[in-house]
Amino acid sequence: MLEEYRNEIDRIDRGILSLLSDRMVVVEKIGKYKKVVGKGVVDMDRYAKMVAVRENLANEFGLDVEMSKDLFAVVHNYSIKRQKKLEK
């Protein structure tokens, strides 16, 4: 039984990583677009809206809001790093 649960966790984690990979592809597209139009990497208005929406989603899914904030702060920081690499 425990092994089945662990296999399920492994399957879910693989899905999470696949979605993060998809997200980073879109992040690069956004970074390339921003470079072409001369827009900076960080958009604080967009970030504030994103945080609020993610908090609402965390509540909707019954997740800890702080965990969601922490998770998306890490994801956002890596997104910024990816876009900054495109500036060079």
The backbone torsions φ and ψ at residue 36, rounded to the nearest 5 degrees and listed phi first, read -65, -40
Helix (H, G, I), strand (E, B), or coil: what is residue 48? Answer: helix
Q: Give the number of domains in the chain.
A: 1
* CATH number reported for the structural domain that contains residue 16 in this entry: 1.20.59.10
In this predicted structure, the answer to whether residue 87 has a pLDDT above a threshold of 90 is: no
Confidence band for 88, pLDDT divided at 50, 70 and 90: confident
Q: How far is CA 55 from CA 18, 32, 33, in A?
A: 22, 28, 27
Q: Show the domain range for 34.
A: 2-87
The answer to whether 34 and 40 are in contact (CB under 8 A) is: yes
Say whether pTM exceeds 0.85: yes
For 16-74, write each residue's pLDDT tens digit: 999 999 999 999 999 999 999 999 999 999 999 999 999 999 999 999 999 999 999 99
